[in-house]
Amino acid sequence: MIKDEAAKSAGIIRKSFGLKKDILPQLKATYDSPLIDRIKTQNFRLEAGRLTICLAQEFGFCYGVDRAIDYAYETKAKFPDRRIFLTNEIIHNPRVNAKLQELGIQFLAQDPADGVTINDLTPQDVVLIPAFGNPMIELEHLQKRGCVLVDTTCGSVMSVWKRVESYSRDGFTAVIHGKYDHEETLATSSRAKKYVIVRDKEQAQKVCDFIRGKFGREEFMREFERALSPGFDPAADLQHIGCANQTTMLSSESLEIANMLQQSMTEVCGVEETCRRFRHFDTICSATQDRQDAVLRLVREDVDLMVVVGGYNSSNTGHLVEISLGFCPAYHIKDAECILSADLLQHKKVMSKDIIETRNWLPEGPVKLGITAGASTPNKVIEEVMERILQVANVSPEGA
């Protein structure tokens, strides 16, 4: 990974411009919520007629997301007259990305027919690197264009990069628990010389079976054809493995996958040899873990249902829904517009890209309703969801 000093000389900026005071009023007006602030002081509860709305004690924007948004707004303030581009969504929230476009920040196009591409950039242009980071080849291409690069990559993501880079230096293959086409995993895998990406325990089991000699090479290559480093040879490259994660995955599953892999190596190589051939470090970010722990505490309080707010392509939001579904009905919505009525809700189906509608989502009579939100969701969006729920239920908060 490019170190800070090298990054500075190469035109990569990874620090604030010191303009937070200038942009703070704009940020507060766009993303903050007086209602959410009030609910926090009321033990994270809102009583409203027949509804009791329970807010998870860790939710919404994390430090990394806050930082990325701050840097984007500061960049616009610093370079008001320059063209500013994003290589991809800065975070997985449609409201945030739309607001940046309203500021005049454009997305780089893949096709010249669709707009400005990397090849059109000049040294006068400014490019924001998203919180997920960029693959190395893309970063190198941007550097060659000579434009100013403002890097908003989350520190937790960069910690994973350091981990997989250490694996590569020591001749270990990185087994990455993540989604092979997710921006973060694409950036992480580009830092590894050898890697295989496993989506879940089912895929991890196939890696374990190969190590045990129960899964053939041809089957392995078909299963992971889009999730392997170039020239991957499972027989040679799974002799030494180190585990890493996309930082937003379900932490319990990541730990279980690591244990599965370690056990398979132990069965084949023995304990002493496995100590030399296997490495594992938990690289789930603390904010992801905090939000997962908080939603678990909430659903154990016997809430009747959960509403989870966040972008539909947000991995960490999806996992909050998965956790909730183990205890009660849970619905992943992107914003208040998904609440069509007290009877009809539009939401994303868990573990799927399908957007569906569910009737009778809000029960009659007294309801204890839990709410949480992914790490990319502004408080303002959560507030709008709460207000819409109160509206369709035809109730008002006590003391309002």
Which residues are tagged catalytic? 184
Q: Rounded CA gap, 158 and 78, in Å?
A: 25
DSSP 112: G
* Token representation of residue 305: 């249902």
Q: Which residues have CB under 8 Å from 399's CB, separation 6+?
A: none
Q: Rounded CA gap, 305 and 330, in Å?
A: 6
Q: Rounded CA gap, 385 and 342, in Å?
A: 13
Q: Rounded CA gap, 132 and 182, in Å?
A: 9
Mind spelling out the 3-state secondary structure of 138-152?
HHHHHHHHCCEEEEC
Residues β-bridged to residue 371:
55, 307
φ, ψ for residue 351, nearest 5 deg: 60, 30
Do 391 and 383 meet the contact criterion of CB atoms below 8 Å apart? no
Q: Rounded CA gap, 144 and 146, in Å?
A: 5
Strands (E), the chain: 12-13, 45-48, 51-55, 84-86, 106-107, 126-129, 148-151, 173-177, 195-198, 241-245, 278-280, 305-309, 330-333, 344-348, 355-359, 367-373
